[in-house]
Amino acid sequence: MSIAHRYITVTEFEEMTFDRPTELVCGELAEQPMPTSQHGAICVAISVFLWLWAKQSQRGSVFSNDSHVLTERDPDSVRGPDCAYISREKLPDGKLPAGVLRIPVDLAIEVLSRSDRWTDVLDKIQEYLRSGITEVWVIDPEQRSVAVHRAEAAPLHFDGDDELTRPELLPGFSCRVSELFADLPEKSADSTPG
């Protein structure tokens, strides 16, 4: 006789406290590595650009710091994108609710870390898109690039002095890709991601 495995629900996850960044993946806790200062600098840069745009346009809210977003049910998954944007129309009273956000955001952004494996990153991108998230941006510190992923479409790639714009999703938003890496040392042949 086998014993059924009991998965943690999103409601139970909300009641827990953690000493390290932790996600819920298919009903099981998944501790995340602590980010480096370079990773944090890139997260701040993209968050500031998006936040300024969102405030000026009054189109929605931007949040970061691995804030929890529900991505799957039965078993539940709760992910913490490095940065996310949600349009005002999706928010009750235009305000972010307390606890895990159960409404699909419009944009989830992940900044790659040294410990990331591409298979895991690709799985997470697909999970985000299946949950109803419109776009997933993957920022690569090593390549100094941004890949824009959308459901049933080839990724778009931006690097160097390309202007990162997404007029369909973020009308009027623009930032130069190189500005996201302004606080990192100059890229060298043997540079590694942060």
Q: Tell me: the pLDDT tens digits for 21-31?
A: 999 999 999 99
Helix (H) / strand (E) containing 126:
helix 118-130
How confident is the model over 62-95, as pLDDT tens digits?
A: 999 989 999 999 999 999 999 999 999 999 788 9
> Can you give the CATH number for the domain in which 48 is found?
3.90.1570.10
Give residue 99's domain range. 35-66+81-181
28 assigned to some structural domain: no
Q: Residue 125 falls within a domain, yes or no?
A: yes
Residue among 73, 103, 78 nearest 90 (CA): 103
Q: Which residues of 63-82 are buried (b: 16+ CB within 10 A; e: fewer)?
A: bbebbbbbbbeebbbbbbbb
pTM here is 0.92
